[in-house]
Structure 1
Amino acid sequence: MPQTRAQSLATEIERWIVERELAPGSRIATMDELREQTGLGRATISEATRLLAERGTVDVKLGRSGGLFVAQPAAVVRLRHTLLSVSQDPARVRDALAVRDALEELIDVDAALHRTDRDVRDLESIVTTMREQSSTRSDFLQANWALHRRIAEITPNELARDVYLGTMAQVESLPGRPDADTADDAAYLSARVDIHAELVAAIAAGDALRTSRAVGAHRALTSPKVEAAPSRA
């Protein structure tokens, strides 16, 4: 699926930061300047700004002297900037996926050990959405990646979380490439839902060993067929 205009603009602004070598605290542009430069509407500019703020890429300041400013370089931002510069290199993208996969067990076991009741409710709700959308690959993948992001938010290990989310963000920005053998396979998508449902159940139970086993089952099913996530609408 193609990126939305807001997502494309967010990616472009990240490239500006890298290409112009803007330092933390540097002013990027005001909202009005962005509208003049891009020709995009206020809603699109606001959504792109929200995406960038969530990623930790920019700080938004209000008032006459306000606008978008380069945020302090958290680990996730440094990683995203590195990956942006090599996004056309398949080998480096594979490296990013390998890092994400290597962190999966640490992230998920941490979630089992530190989850709250609210965390569990959120995860279970996303699994329900995954099941409802398992007949459509693009919708399923959006819910799938939302689940992994939500799990990652639970860990108190900020470095692991930032690196994991950074690799996820980069892979999500790539064009979707369905696997020829499984893209339209309802049985395959249903099996993936079941794997994720067990992962969430293990996290909800606070069972580290069960969570590790669920991660192993997840890896066994999905690793041979790594997919880029669809763009979020």
Structure 2
Amino acid sequence: MQQVQRSSLITQVTAQLREEIVTERWPVGTRIPTEVELCELTGTGRNTVREAVQALAHAGMVERRQGSGTFVMATSDLGGTLGKYFADAQDRDVTELRRTLEVTAAVLAAERRDAEDIRALTDALESRNRSWVKDSAEEAIAVDAKFHRAIVAASHNAIYLEFYDSLLPIIRQTMHHQVSAHGNDYYDEHAALVDAIVSGDAEGARVASSIFFDELGLSEQ
């Protein structure tokens, strides 16, 4: 029997961490366990864990944030690659792409949502409105982005969701710029969007979702 090589051990741990992300036990936007916690979970040393996390960081699936920890950025290597590709995109280009994705996703969500989606959307709306009142702008925008992601998830289109996840970092960035410029809380608009999806009103969902982008000057020609 051959001894397990250190490189093989790193590969095994990387695969275990990747599985937690792919299966969304560690959802996009959440912080993964600390190095010490990962050592306990995997039964390996700190250097092994650090190199495994670094491999996922190189793939764009996680991001280290000084003083905050390591956060999930994408559910696949492809998503991470796309996220890097779009990192320097112009705000208007990203917002126009968001419109295409989110308006269609809202229509699909109204047609396909199930009881679990309805609970998730209702909770996401409450969290979004709460955060907008009591949290910092950065935290509120992160929660707002999760709300919009919940709508894409309710579309039950796996490709849409993976692509949207790859865009989340740049989406949050553009949302921050737009909040600074417009300062609109959009409470009623968010509520109307959820109501349309919950009631299965596809046309109402299309209109409600479009309103956000119309007010940013991206109305359809």
- Scaled to the shorter chain, the TM-score interval is 0.5 to 0.7
Counterpart in the other structure of 1:51: 72
Letter of the 1:201 partner, please give it.
D
Letter of the 1:77 partner, please give it.
G
C-alpha RMSD of the superposition: 3.6
Give matches, 1:155-170, under 5 Å: 155-170=155-170
| Inter-partner Cα distance in structure 2 for 1:175 and 1:210 | 23
How far off is 1:115 after superposition?
0.9
- Alignment partner of 1:153 is 2:153: yes
Counterpart in the other structure of 2:42: none
- Aligned residue-pair number: 162
Q: Please report the TM-score for the alignment, with normalisation by the length of structure 2.
A: 0.59
Identity %: 20
Describe the shift of the 1:208–1:176 C-alpha distance in structure 2 as closer, same or farther (beyond 3 A): closer
Describe the shift of the 1:195–1:81 C-alpha distance in structure 2 as closer, same or farther (beyond 3 A): same
How far off is 1:99 after superposition?
1.1
| Match for residue 132 of structure 1 among 110, 117, 130 | 130
How far off is 1:207 after superposition?
1.1
- Alignment partner of 1:31 is 2:49: yes
Counterpart in the other structure of 1:199: 193
Contiguous gaps of at least 5 residues in structure 2: 1-28, 33-46, 55-65
Give matches, 1:58-207, under 5 Å: 71=77, 73=78, 76-84=79-87, 87=88, 90=90, 93-135=91-133, 138=137, 139-172=139-172, 176-177=176-177, 179=179, 182-183=182-183, 188-189=184-185, 192-207=186-201
Deviations 1:181-223 (A, max 9, x none): 543xxxx31xx011011100110011111111211222223x2
Q: Please report the TM-score for the alignment, with normalisation by the length of structure 1.
A: 0.57
Deviations 1:108-141 (A, max 9, x none): 1111111111111111112122333333561432
More helix by share: 2
Deviations 1:143-172 (A, max 9, x none): 221100111112232333332332233232
Counterpart in the other structure of 2:206: 212
